[in-house]
Structure 1
Amino acid sequence: MGPREQIQSLQARMSASIIGQERVVERLVIALLCNGNVLVEGLPGLAKTRAIKSMATNMDADFKRIQFTPDLLPSDVTGTEVYHQTDGHGEFRFEPGPIFANLVLADEINRAPAKVQAALLEAMEERQVTVAGTSHKLPPLFMVMATQNPVEQEGTYPLPEAQMDRFIIHVNIEYPTVEDEVGVIKLVREEEAAALEESDDTGAQHAKPSADLIPQQAVFDARREIAKVTVSDAIERYIADLIYATRTPEVYSDELRRWIDVGASPRASLALDRASRAHAWLHGRDYVDPQDVQAMVHDVLRHRLSLSYAAVGKGVSPDQVTDEIVAHVALT
């Protein structure tokens, strides 16, 4: 199979284990193809962790989960220098933390204090970790997938803007339909029965053969093809105009002027370009059209817009603001 077929196979396997969340699965795959990090937000029990674990289960990649708690230390994430003594000779050696994996699940990231959240900044942006003055490179295939609960405020630490901007997209998970929820019940029941049958007398689970896993090389090959996806001058200007509209909302409408306090940074333009190209490639095209841009602009801007008190007070969401921007910015 070629890179596109392998990536589509990964997407299909994930969708089979996460019923009713095809859009979320597609966004996770796009973030992987863009070599970016993704923030997944949703109420408890909506398969945020399951979605991320499903990607790791179906790939030939190392996976680590970090449960963020208020007592977590930065060294619990990055690793630390440990003193080793052998035959009378002692030395400090670096013991890598869980961040040194291909796919890292930062579960409930907003439950850890700012110092621990900051420990992720260098890893997410520079793809390296510096401990005791020495920099340690992360694996070539690396992605942080963070989850957070939007309704819990007690015992949480809101992510700073600097770290939010390092997520290429912000994905919301909604409640499934009744039909999908029936499918979820049946799926979990079947998985529990299969797990009991496959386990041996010691209760150990049989590992999935490596031949059945999607190799890391498929992701690298896909990224090379995505880099060749054509973006016309008109589409480039459309992307820039959409992001620039968040900085000059008064030019477009009184609603946008009242709703937006701070617009998106140039990282948003770069993220929208990368995500649009990945979206086009995933749908079998070697060029980006306006529908690709519009399909990804909400995920790119959702966590990058700072709304005014007036907007928050009226219950205006970032998605509503983005809808208004898309409605007013024309493709020239």
Structure 2
Amino acid sequence: MTEVGVHLPPAEALAARPVTAGAAAEGAEIERRPPSTRRRRRVGQMVAWIGLTILGVVFIYPFVWLVSASFKPRGEVFDNRLIPQTFTFDNYVAVWQEAPLGLWLINTAIVTVLAATTVTISSAMVAWGFSYFRFRGRGPLFVLVLATMMLPGAVTLIPTFLIWSALGQVGTLTPLWAGNLFGSAFYIFLLRQFFLGLPRDLFDAARIDGASQWGVFWRIALPLSKPILVVVLIFEVQAVWTDLMRALIYLRDSATYTVPRGLKALVDAYGFGGEWHWEIIITASVITTIPMIILFFLAQRKIIDGVASTGLKG
């Protein structure tokens, strides 16, 4: 008796190959959809991509214009050409000669690091107290902390200035960051909500093993909270780097100016009512914006990874 082999056509042979469950489910899902549904989905995706592209162009155009204008001579700054007709690097040389831009950047970096670090640590400590400890009046006290967010900044502006004036700190960089030693209600809220999602069994086990309250917070809670801590740091860095109001109130000498206060001084000197050297102002704006752009690209992945890992924790 001869053995007869079964020969499958190429299409059937491909169909007979083993496929993963996910691929099979996806293929079945696509096959079940009617052609009209698939077309509508493609059209919807195309419309979404077109809309996102238009929004991206709208948002990025001002900065592209700013960068382009920084490479133009004085007479061509406002010609609205994205590609300069006369390309020059003179503005990037002149801006360092006309203003102590390097000193302003250093001052801003010092204030930013101190402010972001202190507000992150202090807010985390307060948030840990509200999330971990059980004490009478915890709820009303937390509501009182959140209520401080409802106060406009103008309400506390004069009392805060009088305090720093009595301490002899007006004209220094201290008022720009030292207030963060007492935390921020918004960051306290964010951190408390994250701490409440951490498994309390870890902390109880650490206490049983002999860890102190501070050890539980510093060695267990904070390492598990890196995603939200990074978010708080980034938010505060951006807020302090662009803070003009406090710099206008407390800084007197150009040697202590931060970047926003220095740009305001350049606008007064070379912009409206000045010598109309807008190329200097624009070039300084580009230089002082670059650190924030670098921070965005460095922190973007950290934020996404943090959100993903937070979601995996459930």
Bigger relative CO (Cα 8 Å, ≥ 6 apart): 2
Which structure has more strand as a fraction of its residues?
1
Greater helix content: 2
TM-score (norm 1): 0.21
